[in-house]
Amino acid sequence: MNVVSAKSVSVLLGLFGLSFFLTFEQTAPDLVDVRQYGARAVNAWWQYGTTVTGRAGTNQLAVASASTFRNGDGIVIYGAGEAPSVGTAPEAPRVIPGVSESETVPDAPLAPLSTGKATYSYRIVAWDIHGGLSAASPITRITNGPKKLGQNTIPVAQLELTRKVITVMTAVPHGLTPDLRGGPLVHIKDSTDSQTFSGWWNLSGVPNPMSIMIGGTSRDSATPRHASGGTLTYFTDNQVSWKPQAGAWEYVICAQRPGDSGLRVIGVSMPSAAVC
């Protein structure tokens, strides 16, 4: 009885092992032997590298220490080549805080905001087409930036349409200020009368911290119409601009925003057509 049981277990284990092996074979990724393409086997845990010196106009380098390189090995030399074509630092960027006058695009015009209280710092670095970097520009610091960058969504309490003027009363302070000029864009949606009030509208007035006015709308009602609920959305930004620099291909933008411990890279500009 014991012998028979043992044989049954052995058969089951053998079948399980075969099944596992077949499954592994079927799911294992395809492998390529890189030696077929000129590579050679090395100790992957060893760092191959040293410092070198060279002379312009020649194809010879002197290494600082003995190396394990062989003829035919591929190498990369960092910090060599021509000097960057943007050798001088850019001028300090110009920074304008504001509320977007259009939907969110990279070059959206802004209605300038002068009553913000947040501090932001910006500087830029020019980058030539070969990857050479200039020194960083001087820092531009503003203390009237918006409390928050990007989308601001505010709950709406009441809406009223009288003739072509919409009045929006918010459930909390909306954060827009009377000093805004140029017609910041706001978006209203999801009220109890979306057909009348939903849409993108240009702000025309800020009577107080809990209401805004939108004049000259495409809606018109001789009898006042009312609705409640929904949201009011607008976008706050800092517009960063700078004087173009000869030889620059792109610009690296660095910023310190509220909550940041220091300046950090936040983006790279679009390429400059001037050096294409």
> Residue 189: inside a domain, yes or no?
no
What gap in Å lies between CA 207 and CA 185, rounded to an integer? 17
Residue 199 lies in a domain: no
Alpha helices in the chain (DSSP H): 2-27, 194-197
Q: Determine the 3-state secondary structure of 100 from DSSP.
A: strand
Question: Looking at the predicted structure, is the pLDDT value of residue 91 above 50?
Answer: yes
Is residue 220, in this structure, part of any structural domain at all? no
Name the one residue in this structure whose structure tokens are 């620059």: 248
Is a pLDDT exceeding 90 seen at residue 64? no
Q: Provide the residue range defining the domain that includes 121.
A: 94-148+237-275
Choose between 153 and 21: higher pLDDT: 153
Among residues 19, 76, 6, the alpha carbon closest in space to that of 48 is found at 76
The residue with greater pLDDT, 207 or 65, is: 207
Share of the chain above pLDDT 70, in %: 83
pLDDT in tens, 123-149: 999 999 888 899 999 999 999 999 999
Condensed to tens digits (0 to 9), the pLDDT of residues 214-248 reads 998 888 888 999 999 999 999 999 999 999 998 99
Contact between residue 91 and residue 123 where contact means Cβ atoms under 8 Å apart: no
Supply the pLDDT for residue 38. 78
Phi, psi of 166 (to 5 degrees): -105, 130
Does some domain include residue 178? no
In a domain, 41, yes or no: no
- 241 in a structural domain: yes
Q: What is the mean pLDDT of residues 138-165?
A: 95
Does 43 score more than 80 pLDDT?
A: no
Check residue 17 and give its pLDDT.
Answer: 46
Copy the structure tokens of residue 236. Answer: 């706050």
Is there a domain that residue 142 lies in?
yes
Q: Grade residue 104 by pLDDT with cuts at 50, 70 and 90.
A: low
In a domain, 68, yes or no: no
Show the DSSP H helices in 154-252 as ranges. 194-197
Residue 107 clears pLDDT 80, i.e. is over it: no
Reduce the DSSP state of residue 259 to 3 states and report it. Answer: coil
Work out how many domains the chain is built from and give that number. 1
pLDDT for residue 170 is more than 60? yes
**Maximum pairwise Cα distance, the chain:** 99
> pLDDT band at 27, cuts 50/70/90?
low
Tell me the pLDDT band of 46, cut-offs 50, 70 and 90: low
Write down the pLDDT at residue 97.
93
User: Strand locations in the chain, DSSP E?
Assistant: 52-54, 61-63, 94-100, 110-112, 118-127, 140-145, 150-163, 165-170, 185-189, 199-202, 205-208, 211-214, 221-228, 231-241, 250-256, 264-268
Helix, strand, or coil (residue 133): strand
Mean pLDDT of all residues in 264-271: 93
Q: Checking DSSP bridges between strand 110-112 and strand 94-100, what pairing results, if any?
A: antiparallel
